[in-house]
A and B are shown apart, each in its own frame.
Chain A
Amino acid sequence: MSVSAETDFTAPAASKRRQRLFQFGMSVPGALATSILVLFALGVVLFLGFRTNDGSLLGGGVTFKNFSDALSDPLYATVILRSLAIAGFVTLATVATAYPVAFYLAFHAGRHRGLLLFVVTLPFWTSYLLRVFAWKVVLAYNGVLNSALLSAGITSEPILAFLNTPAAVVVTLAHAYAAFAILPIYVALENVPRSLIEAAEDLGARPFTVFRRVILPISMPGVMGAALVVFVPTVGDYVTPALVGGPSSTMIGSMIQAQFGKANDWPFGAALAVIVMLVILVVVLIARFADKHFGSRT
């Protein structure tokens, strides 16, 4: 939709000015929003990470202590690793369970595809807090699961260990972000050229081989996209650990929130945030590398 060369060439000066004005005007909102809300805001966080905590908004002099503390203290290493592990499990579970659904949608759903796609992605648009809260109610000591087990006679006493454990966090997060994973995989599977599948089948490949050597590799970008879109919010989450996780499930998001809350050390929180963003960047780069390496056609 770019302006064709002829129009440019023959337009009088006034209308060229109008066009420039239009293009300038159209660029302003986006430029303002991204430069202030994205670049500047993130820049300030980066800046604050290098400041000392003297109680003022932007801190005192420059220091590397925040970063060195965060990286050297075994607690933060544990919490970061725990967050990566939980996010990793959640991503794996979510993507693995979403793939068959996307596969069905792309290859078997036929007429009902639109409806089914809508049904499985609908939870994406519901309130995250409500989804986590629903699990808290389900897993509670005198909650839905325990009372169901009790009345069915399967257990004689409520099980303490459903709630306030890392396992509860994994289950809740996997459920909360399940809907996120389906769409990217579905889109990638949709774009697998049917001709390739037919060719493989014509050459005598059995269905599983077709899947393994044609469909799966080509759909990898979608799988990576899904993994990313689940991993990112999960790794920084603090609501789920707070509601269903208990003391042993503290994740890095909770620690960042605590620095801006009771621990009252904004610069340190900013440093933790920068570290988390770097971790995410590394994961994104790995995903892209794997994507290129394992062959994508897009």
Chain B
Amino acid sequence: MQGLTTRNVLRGAAGLVSFIAALASPAMAADKLTYFTWSGYELPAFNKSFLTAHPDGVETSVFSDDDEAFTKVKAGFHPDLAHPCYDKIARWNKEGLLQPIDTKRIKNFDTIFPVFKDLPDIQAGDGKVWMVPWDWGNTSILYRTDLVKDPAPSWTLLWDKQYTGRIATIDAVHDTPVVAALLAGVSPFDMSPADLDKVAAKLREQRPLLRAYTTDMTSVEQSLASGELVAAMTWNASATTLKKQGVKVEFMKPKEGMLTWACGLVMLKDAKNVDLAYDFINSRLEGDSGKELITQYGYGSASSAAFALVPKEELDRLQLPADPNIVLKTTVFTGPMKQNDELAKMFEKVKAGG
């Protein structure tokens, strides 16, 4: 083979290597905002003005659970913005993952309901916050009214032996273990080791009855629609979806209280595109964005301006009061849990059978 002289081979190899190296280097060219969020929250309709100003300017990665997000960020993944929930803020902060957000740069910050704006863990002092609240909603039992006859309004439905194999629960630390704690009579937010044991026992009681621990809400919705499941712990968006489809379901009001959660946008400490990030947050706090959230998913927007844009009949249909304070009177707000790490580890063990 004539051409295969040393020089040619080396030239060819060098060319190939540099070509591949050029391809393999991260796409640094276009400065895109990286946004790490719950699956389903990446819809372009939620940040229309951002996309008008910066077409194709955001690259979204999704997670199914914000503990999964936490570990991924700790494992070295560095997005610009992320979307955890309020109960995790202290934990993210403790690891030094966040940088404070200057509320002076957030146009509509004051349209956020005070109950969320003034949450203790997000205050960073000096007009800055660790998290800009964006969405809130409820967690409860979604059940088939034709397959479950007149259940007592209580979380114990998820522990009911007669529905063994047809119950599912959410695979997240701030949902299932919190409910187990409520039923075990301990406070989920500050547990002693003895309390943790009680919660573990309650969770162990539930395990043989479950079909799945999951964060895959659309699968759960399908299974409820087909009758494979009769009852499942879900967020209120699933109730909205299935009712729209005409499935006979009801979102329970348990006597121990539904869970209410609030989540929002945080900026990671080494975010590369800070200005883009502020643009994004501003675009999310426009009334339009919150209105989309309400009408599409039935979740609450943290922005009062958004609620103003939704007609009252719609809000009534969604069973969503325009003032979160009304909801919070009867629900359990998932705030920070002091023993989150131990609880997470224990929950993983129980799920595996231990």
* A touches B in complex, CB < 8 A: yes
Interface residues of A (CB under 8 A from B): 55, 73-76, 78-79, 141-142, 158, 160, 164, 246-248, 250, 254-255, 258, 260-265
Q: How many of chain B's residues touch chain A, expressed as a range?
A: 20 to 34
A263-B353 contact in complex given A141-B223, A246-B211, C-beta closer than 8 Å: no
A74-B354 contact in complex given A55-B95, A141-B226, A260-B75, C-beta closer than 8 Å: yes
Complex: how many Å from CA A264 to CA B94? Answer: 15
Choose among B211, B352, B354 the residue with the greatest number of A CB atoms under 10 Å from its CB: B352
Q: 8 nearest interchain CB pairs?
A: A75-B354, A250-B352, A263-B348, A141-B228, A262-B67, A258-B348, A263-B345, A264-B71
Chain B residues with CB under 8 A of A246: 211-212
Extra A-B contacts (13), CB below 8 Å, given A141-B228, A142-B226, A262-B347? A76-B354, A78-B353, A247-B207, A247-B210, A247-B213, A250-B351, A250-B352, A255-B348, A262-B71, A263-B344, A263-B345, A263-B349, A264-B71
Complex: how many Å from CA A160 to CA B347? Answer: 26
Complex: how many Å from CA A250 to CA B226? Answer: 26
Q: Are A264 and B351 in contact (CB under 8 A)?
A: no
Chain A residues with CB under 8 A of B354: 73-76, 78-79
Interface string of B58-70 (1 = CB under 8 A from A): 0000000101101
Chain A residues with CB under 8 A of B65: 262
Q: Are A248 and B353 in contact (CB under 8 A)?
A: yes
Query: Which applies to chain B's interface (DSSP): helix, strand, loop or mixed?
Result: helix
Distance in Å: Cβ of B113 to nearest Cβ of chain A:
30
Any chain A CB within 8 A of the CB of B74?
Answer: yes
Any chain A CB within 8 A of the CB of B197?
Answer: no
A–B Cβ pairs within 8 angstroms, 15 of them: A55-B95, A73-B354, A75-B349, A75-B352, A78-B354, A141-B226, A141-B228, A158-B228, A160-B228, A164-B211, A164-B212, A250-B352, A264-B70, A264-B74, A264-B345
Interface residues of B (CB under 8 A from A): 65, 67-68, 70-71, 74-75, 95, 165, 173, 207, 210-213, 223, 226, 228, 341, 344-345, 347-349, 351-354
Chain B residues with CB under 8 A of A261: 68, 71
Complex: how many Å from CA A247 to CA B350? Answer: 10
Chain B residues with CB under 8 A of A75: 349, 352-354
Distance in Å: Cβ of A256 to nearest Cβ of chain B:
11
Distance in Å: Cβ of B348 to nearest Cβ of chain A:
4
Distance in Å: Cβ of B85 to nearest Cβ of chain A:
14
Q: Are A79 and B352 in contact (CB under 8 A)?
A: yes
The residue on A at minimum CB distance from B222 is A142
Chain A residues with CB under 8 A of B344: 262-264
Complex: how many Å from CA A142 to CA B219? Answer: 12
Complex: how many Å from CA A77 to CA B71? Answer: 26
Chain B residues with CB under 8 A of A141: 223, 226, 228
Which listed residue, A79, A248, A262, touches B68 by the CB 8 Å rule?
A262
Distance in Å: Cβ of A45 to nearest Cβ of chain B:
15
Complex: how many Å from CA A178 to CA B348? Answer: 31
A247-B212 contact in complex given A75-B349, A78-B353, A160-B228, C-beta closer than 8 Å: yes
Which listed residue, A74, A160, A262, touches B348 by the CB 8 Å rule?
A262
Distance in Å: Cβ of B32 to nearest Cβ of chain A:
26
Distance in Å: Cβ of A165 to nearest Cβ of chain B:
11
The residue on B at minimum CB distance from A77 is B354
Chain A residues with CB under 8 A of B351: 247, 250
Complex: how many Å from CA A250 to CA B71? Answer: 20
Complex: how many Å from CA A248 to CA B207? Answer: 9
Chain A residues with CB under 8 A of B74: 55, 264
Which listed residue, A142, A160, A254, A262, touches B165 by the CB 8 Å rule?
A160
Chain B residues with CB under 8 A of A255: 348, 352
Q: Are B173 and A262 in contact (CB under 8 A)?
A: yes
Distance in Å: Cβ of B16 to nearest Cβ of chain A:
14
Chain A residues with CB under 8 A of B68: 261-262
Distance in Å: Cβ of B192 to nearest Cβ of chain A:
21
The residue on A at minimum CB distance from B95 is A55
Complex: how many Å from CA A254 to CA B345? Answer: 14
Chain A residues with CB under 8 A of B223: 141
Q: Are B345 and A265 in contact (CB under 8 A)?
A: yes
Q: Are B345 and A260 in contact (CB under 8 A)?
A: no
Chain A residues with CB under 8 A of B341: 264
Chain B residues with CB under 8 A of A158: 228
Choose among B65, B68, B74 the residue with the greatest number of A CB atoms under 10 Å from its CB: B74
Complex: how many Å from CA A75 to CA B354? Answer: 5
Q: Are B352 and A260 in contact (CB under 8 A)?
A: no
